[in-house]
Structure 1
């Protein structure tokens, strides 16, 4: 998010409020004057008052554990926190200086390649990123470069590459298309279909299509897109036209759910048309924010000219990233979590989240005021709206009233062709226990009588509701 300087000069010049208790015993170490808000202080400050000023301001943030809008991990074990603090000063890009951190990254890539059924996990190409957004950018770059290789006679001489996706994709895909000059061709929602349709996707494909993006876990409702059906439709398309169009699977969330809870769902490198996959280590990978993963099925799927070679212990280590300097802490935390939980540990954690989501869906539906769109049967996410006979309030009223009690439950309107549909969404993740779910349900039940007594939905609730978060 871009932040602009404050317009009001009075706000700009207003100093921070200082509690006299923040001063140190030695007056020279204390604060001689209140520090400004938007200019560097003239003099240094002692550590304790500096910490207390920042700490107190952050108290106004929401409670991350009660943020049911975000997919991002909000709890890790203390041991993981210790490891992360020990690695905050390690720059991931410096493979020569921190070879063991680099080795842990390579092990994580191999583990994910094996989990996602790469033809040869040792041959799969992959890297850590700052999150799924960067991973998607890298995957999109590889798709475009592979397309331009095959179309040197037509590009850039007028042919414009395009990328096909559902309108429910995360905004990073729209950014990719804008930044890298690719036409975004989006399949709109229709009726009760809230994500991409294989048939509709194929209709948008042509000789300029660099790839199709399938979403394993839509952020709008938590549903899986039919990746296997999409690949089958593209296989038939190739038989008719000769056009071989690869698929990238955006598994930001589902890539760390389906392998453990839905092993019979075929969506990964078992499908030959799947060229690359990304996931967020900091979502259902169970690591604090700051790590994602991008993998390609083999070396042929990632154009060699995009890979930079770094000297590493007398050899070469391939690197592929948009960011340069970044801490190794999150990668180390990912390796710790893989070691700590193993396959069965991940399965147990993800099953617990799904159980909480399903239980919530059942009890919310039983209230009689809400219609469920999804029930946590794929991602541990439930999306729901009000029933047609509820006219006194809408989902934005519910979101606003829950926020008054500390819960962040987003209310938002669906995109093109279903702008008439507004929903609430609850993301269940590790740390959101059945006990917390009971508290949420209790607050919702307490609020319903007052909401039902309203003469009509509150007109300004739409503006004050929690924004939609990916």
Structure 2
């Protein structure tokens, strides 16, 4: 460490050995320094700190792309100073975005001709895409209710409890009730029957997930479409469907072309997909496309001219970089249908290798499905001594970042590990991960248990059963588990 000219608290200052060739005093962490420093020193200080970050290639928690070809990296750097919103100044970039929208719309079987312009927009990610789609549904529902002279102040969306947090954000930010279909053990996606039962006249849409974050499973959008069509006829409503295809939108068309989940189903009015997941682009770019122009209310589109020519815009963000849009276009034309299909098939093959290795250990139940996103989610068969959270913690010693988490209500007593298979996770890494998991299990077996047994009670027939816990109690237990894990105390934990 550099010896400062004055005594300082290391928790309030940033120090770097190599930067001492240029700067001998440490820098404040939370205030702007008074003096400038050489560029070499600034680089080295930041580079030193970033070494403590995890390796993106070994971050198996993330669906987000962590590798692209050098040619695309160069295109990204060439466009790093372009602001996408300046459409008049960068018309070619705008054209590339429009081409991407049309390619994706055709991929999802939008009812448009070869020369027609699809209705859609590039976003920062699927979170923004979902916000835009939700706003379109809310405004269409409100306009219809106003025209009918009915109340329009209590909109709701029906989803499964397995939805990504961005749906909860949309509901809270834009004052829409989120009606969630609870999960159950062994069934970790939305039940279409229960979802349709929850639909009422205030439902602005039902959101289905093509590739659950929890298990990678595709929800049955066709069955949902059929059930909802029947209910709409019976009630006179016209409740639509949005498909959150953030993870699966760039998988299903290539691996499961016969699967009906997209605009082939009449009630599907909009779809979002993450270009930075299996669209194979670095974070962050997402896409949202609508079935027809009528599905996007005109009043949500703004027209500006203070950047040049008249420009229509429908986004939550204004300024954003052009690089990811250009990178998405590169991938679409570079790989084509054949290339994407090859990448997804390879990912699924590597997922199979990992799945078989996990199953062969005999210690886990694999809860992910064969059809869906290429990932492997698995739970301990016996968590009476150790938990998946301990396994996750131990794997970090080998560089692996493998998340452990509990399922949403009413399956929150199930905890799993999840490994996402991306393009840059090859078979050799899968084999290595299997070996490291086996090492971790062997080490944990030799250690005393951190899990205290739950209290058993006797029922009226003399049979034993564990005390049932409320959702709040379960969450408190999980919080206590993590706190005690850090301190090394024994704890009551979930599997």
After TM superposition, the score normalised by the length of structure 1 is: 0.91
CA contact (8 A) 1:128 1:291 kept: yes
Shift of 1:102: 0.4
Match of 2:324 in 1: 330
Residue 40 of structure 1 pairs with residue 32 of structure 2? yes
Equivalent residue of 2:13, what SS?
A: coil
Q: CA 1:251 to 1:18, structure 2 compared with 1: closer, same or farther past 3 Å?
A: same
- Counterpart CA distance in 2 for 1:401 and 1:32 is 38
Residue 427 of structure 1 pairs with residue 420 of structure 2? yes
Equivalent residue of 2:368, what SS?
A: strand
Aligned residues: 449
Within 5 A, what are the aligned runs for 1:70-469? Answer: 70-120=62-112, 122-152=116-146, 157=151, 159-310=153-304, 316-388=310-382, 391-457=384-450, 462-463=482-483
Shift of 1:311: 5.4
Residue 22 of structure 1 pairs with residue 23 of structure 2? no
Shift of 1:190: 2.2
Equivalent residue of 2:14, what SS?
A: coil
CA contact (8 A) 1:99 1:312 kept: no
Match of 1:65 in 2: 57
Residue segments in structure 2 that go unaligned for 5+ positions in a row: 1-7, 453-479, 487-495
CA contact (8 A) 1:69 1:426 kept: yes
CA contact (8 A) 1:227 1:266 kept: yes
- Counterpart CA distance in 2 for 1:67 and 1:448 is 20
Q: Which moved more, 1:279-288 or 1:391-400?
A: 391-400
CA contact (8 A) 2:145 2:151 kept: no
Equivalent residue of 1:146, what SS?
A: helix
After TM superposition, the score normalised by the length of structure 2 is: 0.87
Q: CA 1:12 to 1:245, structure 2 compared with 1: closer, same or farther past 3 Å?
A: farther
Shift of 1:445: 1.4
Residue segments in structure 1 that go unaligned for 5+ positions in a row: 1-9, 25-29, 466-470
CA contact (8 A) 2:384 2:451 kept: no
Equivalent residue of 1:44, what SS?
A: coil
Equivalent residue of 1:300, what SS?
A: helix
Match of 1:4 in 2: none
CA contact (8 A) 1:126 1:295 kept: yes
Provide Cα deviations, 1:284-333, integer angstroms capped at 9, x if missing partner: 00000010001001101100111123559997543210001111000001
Provide Cα deviations, 1:16-59, integer angstroms capped at 9, x if missing partner: 2132x4256xxxxx336322111111111111110000000000
Q: CA 1:166 to 1:55, structure 2 compared with 1: closer, same or farther past 3 Å?
A: same
Equivalent residue of 2:428, what SS?
A: helix
CA contact (8 A) 1:400 1:461 kept: no
Bigger RCO of structures 1 and 2 (CA < 8 A, at least 6 apart): 1
Shift of 1:359: 1.3
Shift of 1:103: 0.5
- Counterpart CA distance in 1 for 2:83 and 2:65 is 22
CA contact (8 A) 1:354 1:380 kept: yes
